[in-house]
Structure 1
């Protein structure tokens, strides 16, 4: 059994251009999350435009940010989560978009665009690529065998040590992303998920440490 948990707070995934999109050899270099695009789309794009796509993947914002801040990545388009985007913009990682060349901007959903503007004012450096919420995935049969009355509609499945301990032998997986798990833990505790108060963050730390013995693996792409 696997639990994959992800905070709904980091729901907007934003593509920001870090260099001119197309070089002399008609190549665009893309760095995206694993499993976030169908490979056939890349082939169709190359066929329709004649532009070769060099496509690399990552499985955590930390890996992406380390490369971006080091400089010289060679990527044209990258896809950070919204919470990471704002500080990367402040660090001067991205170039402003020339929206006159983006003919499909009129198809963007304004509800999401307004939310992503929280991280990138006026969406000057980015456009929304994907958004969503992620909760808990579990094996129904294995859960029923171990705890027929398991609180499957509650974060207690993850954050209550007494509950999650019953499933440790199944193999509990958790996202390897502090920006996901700390807000989720704070939300469970009734605290502000966006809090930067060290005392509040310490409560999330204490909670996460209490369930750590029952987590088999931390990973963001399995």
Structure 2
């Protein structure tokens, strides 16, 4: 069932969709998709709180969406309209149910983790014989290392909701603490390395690939995409996402329908389209982000499935900061 008006307004993160997904959907259903992007959860939240955003589908991070669900900003998903809902992994859905009881509002898009990535050659050169730290977070949070990497550039994601939890975890506090004393400890640590941070980036793939930074706090998939770009352009530098012993911050991004969406039927049709195994697999194959869609696994390339910075092994999974 489609809406009378053949339009769908989508609001997603930048660089976060398989290349032909929108065109394929438009061709199959005759629906015109207006596709806008945002840089962080805070920007999405501001749009939703202001109301009348005009969007029919948005892609919030599950942990961040909790307050939006509590605030009544999303309408429930009508699962009876989703013929491919059974493709989703029940264990994965149970994780999302922690913030969205009974999985009423959120359907998974992709997941990954916030971690440290490096330009291997530049970092080794800047460290000048100093060994790499056991915990990769030291590179961006400990002045002993950051002062050396300042010369080739440190970049942080331009997103407080990503940086604060890893900073809190690094100083031994709960990642999602609301205790002002814990914030103080994280702030003190961050202030010691602030002078060494070259940029706060919302275009991390380009900034890594163009060499603006040699060590960065970024999303696992983006770091892998940047590594591919450097290879494609004949670059010699090796871009590597690290798996810190201190853990990476896991994120699950999801599709949700704002309460004031105008094209609710079209939104359900798009969600169901994305839940097809081939479409979820394309996201993993092209964008290096794993999926919660178990039916997609046979369609995911072996080199993606075997990359332990995309599909993590049990040891690294256990270390993730939930």
Q: Is TM > 0.5 for Structure 1 vs Structure 2?
A: yes
User: 1:94 is matched with which residue?
Assistant: 74
Runs in 1 of length 4+ with deviation above 4 angstroms? none
Q: Distance in 2 between matches of 1:194 and 1:69?
A: 22
Does structure 1 conserve the Cα–Cα contact (< 8 Å) formed by 2:126 and 2:151? Answer: no
3-state SS of paired residue (1:170): coil
Q: 1:114 aligns with which of 94, 101, 120?
A: 94
Q: 2:15 aligns with which of 35, 52, 59?
A: 35
Report the RMSD for the aligned CA atoms in angstroms.
1.6
Alignment gaps of 5+ in structure 2: 205-322
Q: Distance in 2 between matches of 1:75 and 1:171?
A: 37
Query: Following TM superposition, by how much is the alpha carbon of 1:153 offset from its aligned partner in structure 2, in angstroms?
Result: 4.8
Does structure 2 conserve the Cα–Cα contact (< 8 Å) formed by 1:22 and 1:28? Answer: no
Q: Distance in 2 between matches of 1:152 and 1:31?
A: 39
Q: 2:40 aligns with which of 60, 64, 76?
A: 60
User: 2:284 is matched with which residue?
Assistant: none
Q: Distance in 1 between matches of 2:202 and 2:94?
A: 27
Deviations 1:13-50 (A, max 9, x none): xxxxxxxx964221111000001102311101111111
Query: Following TM superposition, by how much is the alpha carbon of 1:151 offset from its aligned partner in structure 2, in angstroms?
Result: 1.8
Counterparts in 2 of 1:87 and 1:140: CA distance versus 1, 3 Å: same
Alignment gaps of 5+ in structure 1: 1-20
Deviations 1:174-195 (A, max 9, x none): 0111221111112112221122
Q: Distance in 1 between matches of 2:134 and 2:112?
A: 20
Deviations 1:64-90 (A, max 9, x none): 110110000110000111122011112
Does structure 2 conserve the Cα–Cα contact (< 8 Å) formed by 1:187 and 1:193? Answer: yes
User: 1:145 is matched with which residue?
Assistant: 125
* Pair 1:51-2:58 in alignment: no
* Pair 1:163-2:163 in alignment: no
* Pair 1:194-2:191 in alignment: no
Q: Distance in 2 between matches of 1:32 and 1:52?
A: 16
Aligned length: 202
User: 2:186 is matched with which residue?
Assistant: 204
Q: Distance in 2 between matches of 1:40 and 1:96?
A: 28
Does structure 1 conserve the Cα–Cα contact (< 8 Å) formed by 2:41 and 2:64? Answer: yes
